[in-house]
Amino acid sequence: MAKNNLRDKLDGNELDLSMMSLVEVPVKEIAALPRATKIDLSNNQLSSLPSNFAQTLGNITHLELGSNKLKDLPTNFYKLQNLKHLDLYNNQLTDLPLSFCQLRSLKWLDLKGNPLNPSLRKIAGDCLNQKECEAAARNIIAHLKKLQNQMENEKQEKLKKEKEKEDAKARAEEEKQAKKRAEKKAAREKRKAELRAVQESQKTAVNGTAGIEKQYSAVPKPAPPALKHKKSKSGGLSFLAWINILMLVCLLGVTVAGLYVYTDGDLTPNGISAALPRIVENASILISLTTEALHPENLTRTANSVVDSTSAAWTSLQELSGDISIHMTPFVEKVKAGFFELIEFVLCCYDWIVKNVDWDSVYAAFTTTVKFFYEQWLVICEELSKNEALMAVWAPIRTRTAFIVEYFEVVFAIIWGYVSFGIEYIQEEGPGILSVVKEQSAAAFHSAKQSIEGLVN
């Protein structure tokens, strides 16, 4: 609609656009007439008001929208803060937006002829005269304001309950984590106490071995072993017993060889006692070096060293060989892809092990295995003790045997303490180490990729 045509409809501050079969409000053209504060849009074909109607025409004081097809009002209709008179007669309104209650200047309202919901129709009244229309404006605004406050209170109450629920969930999670930390700490302290007890017993055994001379006695039998062994028809040792003897001989051979190296050939009780502190010290040093190697700072330095070495090697190769990018580009791409896939596979495997391996089950399986071998050892000892010829040969060296057995018990207790400590360390520190390795590896791989691409290009 042309602006000049609207000027023809303007009479003072009244703009009459009624009975023009309008299907939309010419907001832009009306806004160009700031004097128009009373607008008549009745008896048209309007089904809705544009979203910028109230925001653009905020100076309107009287608005006639009767006998249209309005189904609802925009939510920002409340921005008509100067609106005093509103005629919505004979439309298709069923409800009003809650923000309607913010029309503070509204003094007159007509909602007759609309299919309003029953509660709103009752509050609006009939508006048959000036007094009833003024009451309709007051009552509708008060009703909507009450509904808005009620909804706001319900919203606040809902938010409060959700916050309380989240706080309770957070407290429960914190209590659960605290309980887990306490259990881990208690288990760690228990293992440390057991390790200290083993070390103390080991020290006591080392200090008292010089005058030990024990008489050989039959090995005590435990509860009936779960695994029953059938004797061969000839009355000799069973096949499983021979396998155990072979494994025991191999283990003794390796152990004796290690003792021979550490004792410089002196396998007497005094020589073994003198070498035992050095064995324990070397084991402690090995564990310390392993722990230090897995420290995040050392892993970072290692990754940086790999990147620097790779870059230096490629630089030297380019200086010696000239431009080899034509021949090396396909090879480098394949190597990079394979290297990245390998690293990703290794990290995925390590991540899976940390998240899925049940170290308690590993501990139980290891304990069961040791118990099985111990029971087989008892079976072997029982069968060997029935061989009179072997016992006659064994009698002269029973004193040394008793000392070696006691020594092995002490060594095994120390080794088992370190194994328990290692399992606990991996279980607690594994996820943190994995995340650090991933970050540092990603940074190192990115630097290496840039260096290689720079050399190739």
The pLDDT of residue 231: 41
Residue 200 pLDDT > 70:
yes
Tell me the pLDDT band of 232, cut-offs 50, 70 and 90.
Answer: very low
Q: What strand order describes the sheet that includes 10-11?
A: 10-11, 14-16, 38-40, 62-64, 85-87, 108-110
> What are φ and ψ of residue 63, in 5° steps?
-140, 120
Contact 18/38 with Cβ under 8 angstroms? no
Check residue 67 and give left, alpha or beta (phi > 0: left; psi -120 to 50: alpha).
Answer: left
**Residue (of 358, 349, 313, 357) closest to 438 by Cα position:** 349
Contact 136/111 with Cβ under 8 angstroms? yes
**Residue (of 227, 260, 267, 259) closest to 244 by Cα position:** 227
Q: What is the pLDDT of residues 336-382, one digit of tens each?
A: 778 878 887 887 787 777 677 776 777 778 878 888 887 888 888 77
Give the chain's domains with CATH numbers.
Answer: 3-149 (3.80.10.10), 212-456 (no CATH)
**Residue (of 99, 30, 22, 7) closest to 68 by Cα position:** 22
Contact 120/97 with Cβ under 8 angstroms? no
Give the ranges where 209-295 is alpha helix by DSSP (H).
239-262, 269-293
Range in 11-15, 80-84, 185-189, 328-332 the model is least confident about: 328-332
CB neighbourhood size of 361 (10 A): 9
The conformation of residue 52, written as its DSSP 8-state character, comes to T
Residue type, 279: I
Q: Any residues with CB less than 8 A from the CB of 317 and at least 6 apart, and which?
A: 324
SS3 74: coil
Strongest mean pLDDT among 151-160, 310-319, 390-399, 408-417 = 151-160
The pLDDT of residue 327: 59
Contact 79/99 with Cβ under 8 angstroms? no
Q: What is the pLDDT of residues 16-49, one digit of tens each?
A: 999 999 999 999 998 988 899 999 999 999 999 9
Structure tokens at 391: 């016992």
- Predicted TM-score (pTM) of this structure: 0.39
- Burial status of residue 98 (CB atoms within 10 A of its CB: 0-12, 13-18, 19 or more): middle
C-alpha–C-alpha distance, residues 40 and 62, integer Å: 8
CB neighbourhood size of 223 (10 A): 6
